[in-house]
Amino acid sequence: MRLIVCMLCLISFSAFGQSSKSQDILNKLSGKMRQYNSFYLEFSAHIKNSATGMNESEIGKGWVKGDKYYASYGDNTIISNGSKNWTVVKEDKSVYISDAGDEEESMNPKKLMTIWESGFKNKYDKETTYDNETVHVIMLYPKNPKEVDYHTIILYISKNKNELKKAVMKAKDGTVMSYSLKKFEANASVSDSKFVFDIKKYPGYSVIRD
């Protein structure tokens, strides 16, 4: 659950300098994402803090179709029909209902795949190799560092495929969160029923309205 809480804060960022090279790369990636009517992704998430001894890993999956999404992070699930969100927390056997848009953007897989588009500035760092392919490394920094818990986000973007491969978030308290994309399927076939919450599937769960 701690990893989920940390993920809630993901989108509170921005950066010092905007380089034309990094902006061009991000613009192309954004343009590519806008071409998709739907997509499916899988990623691994790892959170570590040497000072506290925290060392956790989880697997995440997400389906997106327009403004609707279904996301799972470990044992927790978020279902959104575009107007309402249902957050299912297995550990607490609770379902939290909120208006769409009230959730932190990092919990929305679509926002996760376009985190650089708002609230950020960027800086090109270098070209390197990640997972046996050449990637661009782009740095993101917060515009208002006093208002957020993080100081840096690092993006790894495939040079040849123009795809986000990895994101690393560094917090001020020494926590480092790494998200590695394992699978991405553009225009994935997904039924609208995927984004419909059915309380019958969660017997014994408490329903809490935010």
Q: What is the pLDDT of residue 5?
A: 45
Domain with 78 in it: 2-189
For tokens 């309205």, what's the residue?
209
> Does residue 204 form part of some domain?
no
Angle of CA points 47, 135, 56, to nearest 5°: 10
- What is the total count of domains within the chain? 1
pLDDT at 180 over 80: yes
> Does residue 194 form part of some domain?
no
Residue 17's pLDDT band (cuts 50, 70, 90): very low
pLDDT at 61 over 90: yes
Average pLDDT, integer, range 163-171: 92
Residue 112's pLDDT band (cuts 50, 70, 90): confident
Whichever domain contains 36, its CATH number is 2.50.20.10
Please tell me the distance from the alpha carbon of residue 162 to that of residue 135, in angstroms, as a whole number: 9
Residue 104's pLDDT band (cuts 50, 70, 90): low
pLDDT at 10 over 50: no
> Does residue 210 form part of some domain?
no
Please tell me the distance from the alpha carbon of residue 210 to that of residue 206, in angstroms, as a whole number: 13
For tokens 């408490």, what's the residue?
206
> Does residue 209 form part of some domain?
no
**pTM of the predicted model as reported, rounded to 2 decimal places:** 0.80
Q: Which of 6-10, 22-26, 97-101, 109-113 has the lowest mean pLDDT?
A: 6-10
> Does residue 200 form part of some domain?
no
> Could you give the residue ranges of the DSSP H alpha helices within the chain?
2-7, 20-34, 109-112
Altogether, the residues listed in the chain come to a count of 210
Q: Which of 68-72, 74-78, 113-117 has the lowest mean pLDDT?
A: 113-117
Other Cβ atoms closer than 10 A to 109: 23
> Does residue 205 form part of some domain?
no
Digit-coded pLDDT (tens) for 135-165: 999 999 877 777 778 888 999 999 999 999 9
Average pLDDT, integer, range 105-110: 66
> Does residue 87 form part of some domain?
yes
> Does residue 203 form part of some domain?
no
